[in-house]
Amino acid sequence: MTIAQRTVEAAPIPAPAAPGQQNQEDAALLTTAAQVARQFTGPKPAIYWTDLLLTITIGYGALLALLNRPFDLAAAGCFVVAVLALYRAESFIHELTHIPFRKMRSFHIGWNLLVGIPLLTPSFMYEGVHNQHHLRTSYGTPRDPEYLPLAGAGWGKVAGFTGLAALAPIGLFLRFAILAPVGLLNPQWRRAIVARFSALAINPDYRRTQPKPEVYHRWLLLEAGCTIWALCALALVLTHLVSLRSVALVFAVVMGVALINQVRTLGAHVWKNETGEAMSLTAQFADSVNVPPPALLPMLWAPVGLRYHALHHLLPSLPYHDLGKAHRLLADQFGKGKTYHGSSYPSLLSTVRSWVGSGTARTR
């Protein structure tokens, strides 16, 4: 079933309000959101661990089955299951950026060992990066690593932006297998690697600053783990202990994960901050997207709470397992046509259609 077939009626987009009325709605939204957040007690490790372990069991199990099957319909099914499950497992990196290491130390370590290092997406590539996407002073500006003014881009540019993600797994492999060891030879090269090749970002102009000393030791440990893993995989291929077919299938699965994440990125915002100026919290919310129930497909393309991206910008510290309830509470507080419902869309396709255009988007 396609995304278009799952489309339901969208909540009415609010008509432009008078400045005074809009300010009142914005203030009410922020106040109510803060009140709703107080009803929750924070991340529950048991939920995180159960979800992650079940997900990787399914994902790695499907991948193993794929590697040991001929090309047939069952293999295609294993491929789809592996991509979706490993995408869900990898999506927990988003949660890690909002949970202090000291608060869920074992989950941080466990996720990196089970997912981050095997998929060459260690948490340091997102921690300290994604947080800048939430800062009022940087959201939507050239300093935002996760924002581009895509509104008005034509379908061709959208397809190119999406397809480019397929190269990400190759880039990550080269980053850890080649650039990381080379960076040890020259401090200047190392600084360039940190600045340009150490962030999961879509803004090509983004440059990462040097990490703080208190987190850099974890960075180095994770980076070493990824480098050892990448070099061992390369050695297994060169010594013919692992077949090129298996390598191709693994890369195909990881490329599928990257493509789905890029598709989800298209539906995370409406990308209309063309001025590049800082935006208020409520403006960030209006520029972001929720795809709440009754839509079902977001469970697959926007897992681990990512379907509530607008709500996440209001309450970034709220764990994924509480976002659905928080959304229902806020939706009940505000009538249709009010500010909160203006960020809700019925499907991914309706979200992209709301901002895609004739190809006149400004690029940085």
* pLDDT tier, 189 (very low <50, low <70, confident <90, very high otherwise): very high
**Per the domain annotation, does 100 fall within a domain?**
no
Res. 359: pLDDT tops 70:
no
Tokens describing residue 211: 């990490």
| Domain assignment present for 4 | no
Closest CA to 222 of 132, 86, 115, 104: 115
- Indicate whether 186 belongs to any domain: yes
Instruction: Give me the domain span that covers residue 202.
Output: 155-266
User: What is the reported pLDDT for 213?
Assistant: 85
Measure CA 87 to chain center: 10
| Residue 310 is assigned to a structural domain of this protein | no
- pLDDT tens digits along 312-322: 999 999 999 99
In a domain, residue 184? The reply is yes
225 lies in a domain? yes
pLDDT of the residue at 274: 83
Q: Give the distance from CA 231 to its chain's centroid.
A: 27
Is this prediction's pTM over 0.85? yes
- End-to-end CA gap in the chain: 36
pLDDT at res. 297:
94
Instruction: State the total domains in the chain.
Output: 1
Give the mean model confidence (pLDDT) for residues 157-175. 95
What pLDDT is attached to residue 16? 40
Q: State the pLDDT at residue 337.
A: 63
Residue 275 lies in a domain: no
Residue-wise pLDDT tens digits, 91-138: 999 999 999 999 999 999 999 999 999 999 999 999 999 999 998 889
- Band the pLDDT of 30: cuts 50, 70, 90: confident
pLDDT at residue number 334: 84
Q: Is residue 230 a part of any domain in this protein?
A: yes
Which one, of 233, 155, 168, lies nearest residue 199 by Cα? 168
**Nearest-angstrom CA–CA distance, 255 and 259:** 6
Query: Would the pLDDT of 8 be above 70?
Result: no
What percent of the chain stands above pLDDT 90? Answer: 77
- pLDDT for 22 equals 52
> Token pair 């869309």 is at which residue?
345
Q: What is the mean pLDDT of the chain?
A: 89
Burial class (CB in 10 A: 0-12, 13-18, 19+), 303: buried
In this prediction, residue 214 carries a pLDDT of 82
* CA 265 – CA 145 distance, rounded (Å): 13
